[in-house]
Amino acid sequence: MAKLSLGSTFPISLSLHRYHPITACHVATPSTTTSSTPSPDHHPSLEVIGGARDRFLPPLHSTLRQPYHPFPLIAWNRHVETIFASFFRNVPDVRLRRECLRVEDGGTVALDWVSGDHYNLPPDAPILILLPGLTGGSQDSYPRYMITKARSKGWRAVVFNSRGCGESPVTTPQFYSASFVGDMREVVAHASSRYPEANLYAVSWSLGANILVRYLGDESHACPLSGAVSLCNPFNLVDAFEEFTKGFNRVYDRALARSIREIFKKHILLFEDIGGEFNIPLALNAERVRDFDEGLTRVSFGFKSLDEYYYKASCFHSIKHVQIPLLCIQAANDPISPARAIPREEIEANRNCLLIVTPKGGHLGWVAGAEAPLGAPWTDPVVMDFLEHLERGTRKTPGSSSDSLASPKGLHHAHI
C-alpha cells in the first residue's frame, strides 16, 4: 500500500506498486482568482501583485515572461494534477544525515541535512531551511527537488521534520500545530549557531507555509532570516477546512485522519494519563481531521474551541507584520488552499511581499515547465531565482546581529 501525500494535509491509501510512498494529501473544490492585467514584466497567464513587485519581479523575468503551460492531460483537472504529482512524480535520490534536536520543552524535531555538505561546502554557504506540510517530511518529492536545486547553486539545505513527521521521534505529549512557531524559532537559532557566517532562508509548503508566515510575523523586525518563500499556503484555515469538507475532498479528510491516527497510536503511551480537557478516545478514533484537532490539538495549544483555533492559527493575520522579503506562490485552482483565502490586500500593502498566482497547479502539483511531467515542479526555478537574487544583495558581515544569534538556553541535539 502506498500513501498519497500532498505535502501538507491529506494522505490517501491506494493499492499501487513500484511507486515511492508519500505522506500527506490535500484536495478540495473549485475556486476563482482575480485575473491579472497584461504587463510586459510578466505573462498575462500569471497574476503578479504585491508591495515588493518592483523590487523582486525583475530577477524573475526569465520565467515569468513565459506563458504558464500546464502539462497536457494531467493538468485538465486539479485533483488529477494533485494526485499525479504526489504518486507519479520521480523522487530524487538524496543521501541525508539526520540530526535530532531536543527543544526547550523536551520535545524533539528531526533535521535532515545533506550527507557530506558539512565538509564539501564553505561555512558561509547560504542555508535553506525546508518546511514540508502536515505529515510531510524529507521522504517526499517536493522538498527533495528543492534540495537538488539548492545544492546545484552551492546552497546548504536542511529539511525540518516536525514532531512525529518523517519518522521524527515524539518525546513529550505534544505534537505540533498550525499555530505553534516555537520549534521553528529554535531550529533557526540552532542553524545560525552552527553556521554563524551563513545567511538563513526558508522555503515552506502548505501547512508548513502557514507556520512559516506566522513565524515571520511574530519575529517581525527581529527576524534572523534573509528571505522566505511560501507555497500553497492555506492562509485562512477556516476557509481551507470549509473547502476540505466538500464533495470529493471528504475522501481525503478521512484518509488524512487515518494517517494522523497511525502516528498518534505509535506514541499513545505518552498521552495515557494526560487528563484535563483532552479527549484521547476522540483523537484515537478520529474519522475527520476536525475530530483529532478537537480531541487533542486545540487543547494542547490552549484554544477554547476549534473555531477559535482555526481562526487564530491562520497566518493571514501575520502578513502585515512581515519585515523580510517574502515570495508567495499559489495556484488559482488549488483544491486545499482556496484562492479566495489569499490575503491580496495585505500582500499588496506590504513592501516586502510578492504574490504569484498560476492559473493551474492543483495542490503542490504545478506539473508544468521544462521538467514536466515527472520532474521538478514549475515553481522551483522561480524560487531559486528569487533566493539567489536576495543572497547576491545580502552578505553577512562580522558582528552583524544575525551572527550573534545563539541557541536558546537548554537546547540540545544528538546525531543518529
Q: Is 334 a catalytic residue?
A: yes
C-alpha 188/C-alpha 186 separation (Å) is 5
Amino acid making up residue 163: R
Q: Is 26 a catalytic residue?
A: no
Catalytic residue among 117, 239, 293, 334: 334
Nearest to 102 by CA among 113, 110, 94: 110
Sign of CA dihedral 194, 200, 205, 209: positive
Cβ neighbours for 408, distance < 8 A, ≥ 6 positions apart: 104, 185, 186, 189
Q: Is 206 a catalytic residue?
A: yes
Catalytic residue among 239, 363, 385, 402: 363
- Scan for cell 492559473, then name that residue: 359
> N- to C-terminal Cα distance for the chain?
28
DSSP 224: -
Beta-sheet pairing, 127-131 with 200-205: parallel
Region of 395 (left: φ > 0; alpha: ψ -120 to 50; beta: rest) is beta
Q: What cell does 371 get?
A: 521538467
Catalytic residue among 8, 162, 177, 206: 206
Task: Please list the active-site residues.
Answer: 206, 334, 363
